C-alpha cells in the first residue's frame, strides 16, 4: 500500500512562507493542515507510525516574514524541545521533558517555522530501519510493507507522506541520507561543525550531525539555511560564515568534475540500482559535467571502522542513563547497583544493549589499541582518500546512497550485519566529516532509489547546486542559471 498525499511538492516551503509573509493565510494555517494529515497518517489499522508526539494547534511562534514563515516542520525525537517529550524512542526516557531546546529548534522558531511534532526513530539513533524504536516501527509511505530506513525514518516518512515539506533528522552514519533514499525524498548531512549539536542527544559525538529532509532539494536547503551557523554552546561548532546556499542552487553543472568511485559500484550493489545511478550520471554528462572514474581504496574498511568507533562513543555517552538523574528508575531496586542494572535493563532495547557491549569491549583494557586505536587510524586513511580526490581536481563525488531499495519490515531484524551493511555507502562521509546529500534518481519496481553527492568540507554550495541541477534534469525541466557562480554569495 502506498500512502503519499498532502501539499504540492513543487510549491512547498517557499510558497508556504510567501503566503504567510504577505498575509494571504494565517501564520498557523499550514501547521493546522499538517497536524490533520499527521493524525490521519498515524490512525487506523494501516497507521504509518511516524510521530511519537504532536504539537497543539496554535503552538507556533517566531517571525511571520522569516525564511520559514508558517512552514510546518517535523523534528526527530532526539532533538530537545520544551513543550514536547524528548524520548529518543527509548523507554528509558519515556515522558522526559527537556528544560531547554536544541539550537536548531530555536532557530527554526526564530525563522518563523512551526514544530508539528516529534518523529519516531531507531532508539537513540541506533539502527537503519526504524524498527528498533521502543514504541513501534515506522512504515514506508511508498510501500507500507517496507521500512522507511533509519535511524531518522519517522522524519523521512513525514516528508514522503506529504505531511510536511521539510524535517529535521540526525546523521551519524547515514541516518538522514539512507532513509531519504528509501522514502524517495531529499536528505542533507552538512559538514561536521556547520550546524550546532547543542540539544541533540548524543550517540557518537565525533560523528553526529543534525541534518535536514525536504520534498525537494530546495526545501531541504531552506531548512538548513535557516539553522546553520556558529553556536558558542557547541564547542565543535565552526565560526565559518554560512554562504547563500539557496542562491547557489542554480549554479548548474557545466564544467563540474564528478568523481565516480569504483569501490561503490561493485557486485554487492543491486544491478538495477546500479543502472539507475549510471543513467543519472549520463544526464549530468549531457548537461556539461565531466565524469571521471576515481578510487577511494579504504572504503572497504568503512563499515567495520564505524562499528568500532560509534559503539565506543555510545557506550560512554549512554552511561548517564542510570536511573538516578532522570528517566526510568526501577522502583523495586534495593541497592544503587540494582538501580543501575534494573533501570538500564528495563529501559534499553536489544540494539542499544548490543552496541553498548560492543563499545565497552572495544574500550576495555587490553583491547583499546587493537580496536579503537586502530579504527581511529583507519578513519584518517578514509579521510585521506577524499583529500587526494579533491586535490586531483574532482569537485564532487557521486555514488548510490544505499546498495538496495527499501527492504521489507522484519527482513533483517535477526541479522545485524546485514542491517549494518545498509549504511555501506554513507558512513564514509561521517568518518571524513564531509557533507553529503541524497536525492531521488529513479525507481526499481516502484521503490525509490537515491543517488548521493559528496563534497569537500565546507563546500555544501557546490554539492547542493549539483543536486538541484540533477533533480531538474530527472524531472524533465531545464536547469536554471547555468551561468551563475558555483559557490553562491556569503552572508
Q: Which residues are catalytic?
A: 76, 151, 175
Nearest Cα residue to 75 out of 29, 126, 114: 114
CA triplet 421, 450, 214: central angle to 5 degrees?
115
Taking Cα atoms as reference points, which of 375, 202, 236 lies closest to residue 301? Answer: 375
> 142 is written with which cell numbers?
511508498
Alpha carbon 45 to chain centroid, angstroms: 28
CB atoms within 10 A of CB 400: 26
Question: Nearest 10 degrees: CA dihedral of 120, 122, 124, 128?
Answer: -140
End-to-end CA distance of the chain: 45
- For residue 489, the tally of other CB atoms under 10 A from its CB is 12
Residue 254 gets which letter from DSSP? T
- With CA atoms as reference, report the closest residue to 188 among 491, 474, 443, 434: 434
Q: Is 232 exposed, middle or buried (0-12, 13-18, 19+ CB in 10 A)?
A: exposed
Q: How far is CA 251 from CA 38, 78, 155, 244, 399, in A?
A: 35, 34, 28, 12, 21
Amino acid at each position: 500500500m502506498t500512502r503519499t498525499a498532502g501539499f504540492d511538492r513543487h510549491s512547498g516551503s517557499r510558497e508556504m512562507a510567501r503566503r504567510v509573509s504577505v498575509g494571504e493565510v494565517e501564520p498557523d494555517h499550514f501547521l493546522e493542515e499538517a497536524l490533520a494529515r499527521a493524525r490521519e497518517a498515524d490512525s487506523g489499522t494501516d497507521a504509518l507510525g511516524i510521530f511519537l508526539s504532536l504539537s497543539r494547534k496554535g503552538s507556533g511562534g517566531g517571525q511571520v516574514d522569516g525564511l520559514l514563515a508558517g512552514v510546518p516542520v517535523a523534528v526527530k525525537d532526539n532533538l530537545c524541545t520544551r513543550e514536547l517529550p524528548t524520548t529518543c524512542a527509548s523507554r528509558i526516557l519515556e515522558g522526559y521533558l527537556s528544560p531547554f531546546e536544541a539550537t536548531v529548534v530555536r532557530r527554526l522558531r526564530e525563522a518563523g517555522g512551526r514544530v508539528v511534532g516529534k518523529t519516531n526513530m531507531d532508539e537513540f539513533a541506533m539502527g537503519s530501519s526504524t524498527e528498533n524504536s521502543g514504541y513501534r516501527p515506522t512504515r514506508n509511505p511508498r510501500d507500507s510493507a517496507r521500512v522507511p530506513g533509519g535511524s531518522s525514518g519517522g522524519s523521512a516518512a513525514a516528508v514522503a507522506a506529504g505531511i510536511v515539506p521539510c524535517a529535521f533528522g540526525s546523521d551519524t552514519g547515514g541516518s538522514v541520507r539512507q532513509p531519504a533514499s528509501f522514502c524517495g525524498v531529499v536528505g542533507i548531512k552538512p559538514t561536521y561543525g556547520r550546524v550546532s549539536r547543542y540539544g541533540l542527544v548524543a550517540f557518537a559525538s565525533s560523528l553526529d550531525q543534525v541534518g535536514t529532509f525536504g520534498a525537494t532539494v530546495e526545501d531541504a536547503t531552506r531548512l538548513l539555511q535557516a539553522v546553520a551557523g556558529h553556536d558558542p554552546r557547541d564547542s565543535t561548532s565552526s565560526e565559518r560564515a554560512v554562504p547563500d546556499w539557496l542562491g547557489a542552487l542554480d549554479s548548474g553543472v557545466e564544467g563540474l568534475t564528478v568523481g565516480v568511485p569504483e569501490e561503490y559500484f561493485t557486485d554487492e550493489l543491486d544491478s538495477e540500482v546500479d543502472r539507475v545511478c549510471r543513467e543519472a550520471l549520463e544526464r549530468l554528462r549531457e548537461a556539461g559535467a565531466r565524469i571521471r572514474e576515481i578510487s577511494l581504496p579504504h572504503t572497504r574498511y568503512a563499515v567495520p571502522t564505524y562499528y568500532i568507533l560509534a559503539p565506543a562513543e555510545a557506550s560512554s555517552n549512554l552511561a548517564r542513563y542510570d536511573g538516578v538523574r532522570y528517566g526510568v528508575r526501577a522502583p523495586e531496586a534495593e541497592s544503587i547497583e540494582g538501580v543501575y542494572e534494573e533501570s538500564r535493563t528495563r529501559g534499553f532495547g536489544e540494539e542499544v544493549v548490543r552496541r553498548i557491549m560492543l563499545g565497552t569491549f572495544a574500550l576495555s583494557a587490553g583491547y583499546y589499541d587493537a580496536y579503537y586505536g586502530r579504527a581511529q587510524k583507519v578513519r584518517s586513511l578514509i579521510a585521506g582518500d577524499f583529500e587526494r580526490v579533491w586535490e586531483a581536481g574532482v569537485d564532487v563525488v557521486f555514488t548510490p546512497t544505499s546498495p538496495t531499495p527499501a527492504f521489507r519490515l522484519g527482513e533483517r531484524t535477526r541479522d545485524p550485519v546485514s542491517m549494518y551493511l545498509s549504511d555501506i555507502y554513507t558512513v564514509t562521509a561521517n568518518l571524513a566529516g564531509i557533507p553529503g546529500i541524497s536525492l531521488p534518481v529513479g525507481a526499481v519496481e516502484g521503490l525509490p532509489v537515491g543517488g548521493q553527492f559528496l563534497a569537500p568540507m565546507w563546500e555544501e554550495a557546490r554539492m547542493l547546486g549539483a543536486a538541484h541541477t540533477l533533480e531538474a534534469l530527472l524531472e524533465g525541466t531545464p536547469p536554471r542559471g547555468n551561468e551563475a557562480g558555483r559557490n553562491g554569495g556569503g552572508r
